């Protein structure tokens, strides 16, 4: 986040500097408000670029074995351009090597899921998936299959399809 803040400030300073040099080269004929306006537009462009490139940057840096299973796009009234082209705000990745069949129950798989969000640290959670009953349950410390808190999930959920297969 600090690098993005610095990058945004540098973009604003660079645009202001270019506009100042252009104005100076033209003998001061441009309106004075053009320098801060150029800085503001450059900072806005840098921020928008960072928002839209976050997902691709993060996905390309995922370790081997992590596969993106589901993305969540974002639209916001204070970002009107997102209604035309929404950006990926968060996503869920499956640690494929951790997918295992649970011997205690038929049709139950376990896997580690990683939740990535734009302004938060990634969080890993081991999860049980009941592929027959279309349920899932996060496993908390010291919790097993018998004490899991199950929640119903649609069979066509991308994460469920990735863990259980596309049968």
Separation between Cα atoms, residue 106 and residue 19, nearest integer Å: 68
Separation between Cα atoms, residue 144 and residue 60, nearest integer Å: 34
pLDDT at 34: 96
Residue 156 has pLDDT above 60, yes or no: yes
Q: Helix, strand or coil for residue 53?
A: helix
> For residue range 104-120, what is the model confidence (pLDDT) as tens digits?
778 899 999 999 999 89
> For residue range 51-103, what is the model confidence (pLDDT) as tens digits?
999 999 999 999 999 999 999 999 999 989 999 999 999 999 999 999 998 88
1 pLDDT band, cuts 50/70/90, is: confident
135 pLDDT band, cuts 50/70/90, is: very high
Separation between Cα atoms, residue 98 and residue 65, nearest integer Å: 9
In sequence order, the β-bridge partners of residue 79 are 76
Q: Which among 64, 79, 167 has a CA at the least distance from the CA of 118?
A: 79
What residue has token string 């035309």?
Answer: 84
Percent of the chain predicted with pLDDT > 90: 77
Token couple for 21: 């040099």
pLDDT at 60: 96
Residue 166 has pLDDT above 80, yes or no: no
Token couple for 157: 């959920």
Q: Which among 32, 154, 11 has a CA at the least distance from the CA of 164?
A: 154
């Amino acid at each position: 986040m600090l690098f993005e803040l610095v990058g945004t400030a540098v973009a604003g300073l660079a645009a202001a500097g270019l506009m100042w040099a252009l104005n100076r080269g033209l003998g001061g004929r441009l309106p004075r408000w053009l320098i801060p306006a150029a800085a503001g537009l450059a900072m806005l462009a840098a921020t928008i670029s960072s928002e839209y490139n976050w997902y691709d940057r993060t996905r390309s840096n995922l370790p081997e074995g992590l596969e993106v299973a589901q993305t969540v796009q974002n639209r916001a009234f204070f970002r009107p351009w997102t209604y035309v082209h929404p950006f990926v705000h968060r996503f869920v990745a499956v640690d494929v090597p951790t997918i295992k069949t649970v011997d205690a129950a038929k049709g139950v798989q376990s896997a580690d899921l990683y939740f990535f969000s734009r302004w938060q640290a990634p969080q890993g959670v081991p999860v049980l998936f009941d592929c027959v009953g279309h349920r899932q349950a996060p496993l908390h410390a010291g919790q097993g299959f018998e004490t899991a808190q199950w929640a119903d999930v649609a069979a066509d959920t991308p994460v469920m399809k990735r863990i259980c297969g596309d049968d």
